[in-house]
């Protein structure tokens, strides 16, 4: 069936010769933990006819949904997700090669159904290997890639991460970790590497032998360690993204979501649309039509996409855009 058609939001006409010879398109959403990568991927997938491939090395495992902050069925809003909760062996390792093999097959499958693959997750080593190293750069030879980087200033992000850990506690995180607790476990393998599991080892190992005050002290220490380790992870992820951009020369479209995290309620939602979702929609629309977009994106308001027979696009009908 002929795909829906669209021209770039800027009104620029695409090069039709290039369109007839273009590579298939893949979108990659990157960012430190907690910056809103999953939210953006869903926004894009519901505006374009897309499916999502998880690239978070802990979310690939079945279980620990709260600890790993796995997107819920409700949050997925009917968008197909791949490589999410597929590994049922908690002690098995899911190597970078495992990811590249499965991700490549999944990208081909999604494209064969005339849909747009969106790869999203915080495991930047997986993404780097897939894009630059896998089978001697086979991926880049077959696909054009659009990189979206959701960025939040570290002080603001650290505050959000702390609050998110508190919310995870209310959602049953300790019981979730207790259910897989093994005093002989190897925390360097499998799903038990996830932040939020080793930090609670001392608490779970001793809770039945301690009085209430001592238990509370151990619990608070575990929570503190989890927050600190999550912040350290965010710093490492940010450093890796900056290295990919500044040293390896990846063309990352940076979307500054800091103001979103400083607001609440409807104001935060409006800021998200103006600073992140709207500009990202513009960038992806231009990318699919072979129109260049700047790497650093200024806020836009009221982004609209218009249909035409001049540019082939995988995009949802107009009522699904806004």
Instruction: Catalogue all structural domains in the chain, each as residue range(s) with its CATH number.
Output: 16-157+250-320 (3.40.50.300)
Q: What is the pLDDT of residues 29-59, one digit of tens each?
A: 999 999 999 999 999 999 999 999 999 999 9
Sheet containing 116-120, strands listed edge to edge, beginning at the edge strand earlier in sequence: 81-82, 50-54, 116-120, 24-31, 143-151, 252-256
Average pLDDT over residues 298-314: 42
Give pLDDT, residue 301. 41
pTM for the structure as a whole: 0.86
Exposure of 156 by Cβ count < 10 A (0-12 exposed, 13-18 middle, 19+ buried)?
middle
Helix crossing, 37-47 with 278-288: angle to 10°? 50
Asked whether residue 20 carries a pLDDT value surpassing 60, the answer given is no
Q: Inter-axis angle of helices 154-170 and 212-246, to 10 degrees? A: 140
| CA pair distance 288, 244, nearest whole angstrom | 23
pLDDT in tens, 91-110: 999 999 999 999 999 999 99
Q: The dihedral of CA 311, 316, 318, 321: what is its sign?
A: negative
Helix (H) or strand (E) holding 148: strand 143-151
How many whole angstroms separate alpha carbon 132 and alpha carbon 120?
Answer: 16
pLDDT band at 319 (very low <50, low <70, confident <90, very high): very low
Per-residue pLDDT of 62-92, as tens digits, reads 999 999 999 999 999 999 999 999 999 999 9
Can you tell me whether residue 229 is helix, strand or coil? Answer: helix
Are the C-beta atoms of residues 274 and 300 closer than 8 Å to each other? yes
In the chain, the N- to C-terminal Cα span, in Å, equals 24
């Amino acid at each position: 069936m002929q795909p829906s058609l669209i021209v770039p939001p800027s009104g620029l006409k695409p090069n039709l010769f290039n369109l007839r010879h273009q590579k298939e398109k893949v979108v990659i959403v990157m960012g430190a933990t907690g910056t809103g990568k999953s939210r953006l991927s869903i926004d894009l997938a519901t505006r374009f006819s897309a499916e999502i491939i998880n690239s978070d090395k802990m979310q690939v495992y079945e279980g620990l949904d709260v600890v790993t902050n796995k997107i819920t069925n409700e949050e997925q809003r009917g968008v197909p997700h791949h490589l999410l909760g597929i590994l049922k062996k908690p002690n098995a390792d899911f190597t970078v090669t495992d990811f590249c093999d499965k991700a490549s097959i999944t990208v081909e499958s999604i494209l064969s159904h005339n849909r747009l693959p969106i790869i999203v997750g915080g495991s930047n080593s997986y993404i780097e290997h897939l894009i630059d190293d896998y089978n001697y750069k086979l991926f880049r030879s077959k696909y054009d890639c659009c990189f979206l980087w959701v960025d939040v200033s570290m002080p603001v992000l650290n505050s959000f991460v702390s609050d998110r850990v508190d919310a995870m506690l209310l959602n049953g995180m300790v019981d979730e970790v207790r259910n897989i607790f093994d005093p002989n476990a190897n925390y360097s393998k499998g799903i038990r590497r996830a932040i939020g599991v080793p930090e609670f080892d001392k608490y779970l190992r001793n809770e039945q032998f301690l009085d209430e005050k001592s238990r509370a002290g151990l619990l608070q220490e575990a929570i503190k360690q989890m927050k600190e380790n999550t912040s350290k992870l965010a710093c490492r992820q940010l450093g890796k993204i900056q290295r990919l951009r500044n040293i390896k020369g990846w063309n990352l479209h940076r979307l500054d979501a800091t103001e979103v995290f400083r607001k609440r309620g409807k104001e935060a939602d409006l800021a998200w649309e103006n600073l992140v979702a709207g500009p990202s929609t513009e960038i992806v629309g231009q990318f699919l039509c072979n129109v260049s977009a700047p790497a650093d994106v200024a806020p836009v308001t009221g982004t609209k996409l218009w249909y035409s027979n001049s540019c082939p696009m995988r995009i949802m009908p107009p009522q699904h855009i806004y």
